[in-house]
């Protein structure tokens, strides 16, 4: 399986690595990268949206470099490793004569190309998917202890990258059901679970917040064929790029000849079918099926080697794709090359403008984990996102970010205000206004626990204070937001609550206070969910309770 690498392979790999390093250095961060950089400032075994691998990679990069390359260096390294693994998985002696074809093919995979320098959870997912398949192929040939341990460690690394990794592992194992009776396969699985135990513990300690959000609390919308199911098919064309016709054509013609080739087929069909079914319930994002890029690249290169006509067209279209993708990379740096805004344009400008106008005080962004993390990265000034009932929870909802600005003078920035003490503009002409607050106090971690009545119409409400200090009850106002069946908020109303102990003035630290309330009349025709929020000190109400189904 380990055929000799031609010299040209290493020359092109070095050139690609240098290109990605350069791209990483001169391209501003996208918002998700800034958010994951914020993760890495406080290393943990888990985060609200994802497992910790992306933060770990950024932390490693930051030890070696500063600025953008301090976020992206490990992505460049993993991308080069992915090319090596893809090449190694194709056992065809003719491949050494088609090194340029190989690089044009893999470079044409649009998202795999982008993840060659962007640092996102899918970056490590791609690398560890390739490494997992490479080790699995080796395991099929020889079940030695080193390969078995490697499989266990890599399965854990896959799961630490992204929760979607469970599909990669599941469908590969389903392609070879006899692994159920293989002791070494079970050893690899047990080792993976042991290595993954710290994240399981983190989930338990944080009330399975990631799983709960992704499965139950994420807002959705009514089914639309063009945005959901048709969008699913279009996304799977986009992630491959201009060579999609030949890549998918190679896949549909591909026949399994052994257990490894069978695993590639199961992996592709399994992921596609899973998210096709999901597309009838929610919009499937393009990167959710990104793992199929690895087996598709292996199958397409093998097809290219054995079919002269396809090889000719894949080479020609690959050159066109290379030129277009290089232009797109340049556009990510220079907005002038194409009159359309992207996340890598203008961030330093708006950050510098806001930092100057705010005199460098900490900034609290309303409902924007994206802008808060981007601002802090480029300004080196503390910034947080304060999330209210019209938004969703994120990492700022569960960490100690509130304490970084509590009691301080801050600038509260919102895109919904019509005026303020200062204003600034983004590259897309969106104007934001900010107001100063001298002694900032928020209590977004107060937990509202609703219990439905067994009889009658009164609900019980328990409010728990997790803070290490007492909270004045007079600063709190209760609200209720009504949502439709897709958990989209449609109405917010004040909520009258009755205190079982009206003489109480403080909600003491680590203590609970009990209320009762009746649902106020909503002007929605049929509200499906309600959620209790707490508005403190004139701020909009937070996401203190969980969505409650209205029976």
pLDDT tens digits for range 446-474 = 999 999 888 878 999 999 999 999 999 99
> pLDDT band at residue 429, thresholds of 50, 70 and 90?
confident
Beta strands in 344-443 (DSSP E): 363-366, 383-386, 410-414, 422-425, 431-437
Contact between 246 and 313 (Cβ < 8 Å): yes
Q: Answer yes or no: is pLDDT of 419 > 60.
A: yes
DSSP-derived 3-state class of residue 493? strand
In this structure, the strands spanning 529-536 and 506-507 are: unpaired
Whose CA is closest to 527, among 485, 495, 494, 480? 485
Determine which helix (DSSP H) or strand (DSSP E) holds 514, and give its type and residue range.
strand 512-518
- Where does the pLDDT of residue 1 fall: very low under 50, low under 70, confident under 90, or very high at 90 and above? very low
pLDDT at 282: 86
pLDDT in tens, 75-104: 999 999 999 999 999 999 899 999 999 999
Q: In 10 A of CB 158, how many CB atoms?
A: 27
- pTM here is 0.93
Query: Rounded mean pLDDT of 176-189?
Result: 95
The position carrying tokens 């004139």 is 538
Contacts of residue 11, defined as CB under 8 A and 6 or more positions apart, other chains included, come to: none
- Domains (range + CATH), the chain: 7-336 (no CATH), 347-437 (no CATH), 447-549 (2.60.40)
What is the percent of the chain with per-residue pLDDT over 90, rounded to a whole number? 87
Interatomic CA distance for residues 328 and 305, integer angstroms = 29
Question: Could you tell me if 133 and 294 are in contact, meaning their C-beta atoms sit under 8 angstroms apart?
Answer: yes
Q: Which residues 6+ apart lie within 8 Å of 135 measured at CB?
A: 147, 150, 151, 154
31-40 and 53-64 helices, crossing angle to 10°: 80
């Amino acid at each position: 399986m380990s055929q000799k690498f031609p010299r040209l392979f290493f020359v092109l790999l070095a050139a690609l690595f240098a290109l990605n390093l350069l791209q990483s250095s001169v391209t501003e961060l996208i918002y998700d990268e800034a958010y994951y950089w914020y993760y890495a400032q406080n290393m943990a075994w888990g985060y609200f949206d994802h497992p910790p691998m992306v933060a770990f990679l950024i932390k490693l990069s930051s030890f070696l470099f500063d600025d953008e390359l301090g976020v992206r260096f490990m992505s460049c390294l993993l991308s080069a490793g992915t090319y090596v693994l893809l090449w190694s998985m194709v056992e065809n002696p003719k491949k050494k004569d088609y090194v340029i074809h190989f690089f044009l093919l893999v470079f044409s995979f649009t998202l795999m190309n982008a993840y060659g320098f962007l640092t996102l959870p899918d970056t490590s997912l791609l690398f560890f998917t390739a490494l997992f398949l490479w080790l699995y192929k080796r395991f099929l040939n020889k079940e030695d202890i080193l390969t078995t341990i490697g499989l266990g460690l890599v399965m854990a690394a896959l799961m630490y990258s992204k929760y979607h990794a469970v599909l990669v592992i599941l469908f590969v194992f389903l392609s070879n059901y006899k692994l159920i009776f293989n002791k070494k396969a079970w050893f690899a699985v047990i080792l993976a679970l042991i290595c993954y135990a710290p994240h399981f513990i983190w989930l338990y300690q944080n009330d399975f917040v990631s799983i709960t959000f992704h499965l139950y609390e994420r807002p959705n919308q009514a089914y639309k064929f063009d945005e959901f199911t048709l969008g699913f098919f279009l996304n799977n064309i986009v992630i491959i790029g201009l060579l999609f016709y030949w890549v998918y054509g190679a896949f549909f013609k591909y026949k399994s000849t052994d257990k490894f080739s069978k695993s590639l087929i199961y992996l592709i069909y399994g992921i596609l079918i899973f998210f096709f079914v999901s597309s009838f319930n929610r919009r499937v994002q393009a990167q959710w099926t990104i793992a199929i890029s690895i087996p598709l690249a292996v199958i397409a290169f093998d097809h290219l080697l054995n079919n002269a006509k396809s090889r000719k067209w894949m080479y020609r279209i690959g050159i066109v794709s290379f030129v277009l993708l290089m232009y797109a990379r340049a556009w990510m740096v220079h907005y002038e090359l194409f009159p359309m805004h992207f996340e890598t344009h203008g961030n330093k400008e708006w950050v510098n403008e806001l930092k100057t106008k705010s005199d460098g005080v900490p900034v609290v962004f309303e409902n924007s984990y994206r802008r808060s993390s981007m601002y802090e990265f480029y300004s080196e000034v503390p910034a947080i996102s304060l999330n209210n009932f019209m938004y969703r929870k994120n990492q700022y909802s569960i960490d100690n970010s509130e304490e970084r600005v509590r009691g301080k003078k801050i600038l509260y920035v919102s895109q919904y205000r019509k005026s303020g003490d200062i204003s600034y503009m983004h590259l897309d002409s969106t104007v934001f206004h900010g107001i100063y607050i001298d002694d900032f106090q928020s209590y977004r971690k107060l937990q509202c626990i609703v219990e439905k009545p067994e009889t009658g119409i009164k609900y019980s409400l328990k409010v728990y204070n997790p803070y290490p200090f007492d909270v004045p009850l007079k600063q709190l106002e209760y609200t209720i937001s009504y949502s439709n069946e897709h958990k989209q908020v449609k109405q917010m109303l004040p909520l009258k609550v009755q205190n079982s102990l009206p003489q109480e003035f403080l909600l003491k630290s680590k203590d609970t206070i009990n209320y009762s309330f009746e649902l106020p009349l909503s002007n929605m025709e049929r509200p499906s969910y309600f959620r209790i929020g707490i508005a403190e000190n004139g701020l909009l109400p937070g996401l203190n309770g969980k969505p409650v189904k209205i029976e």
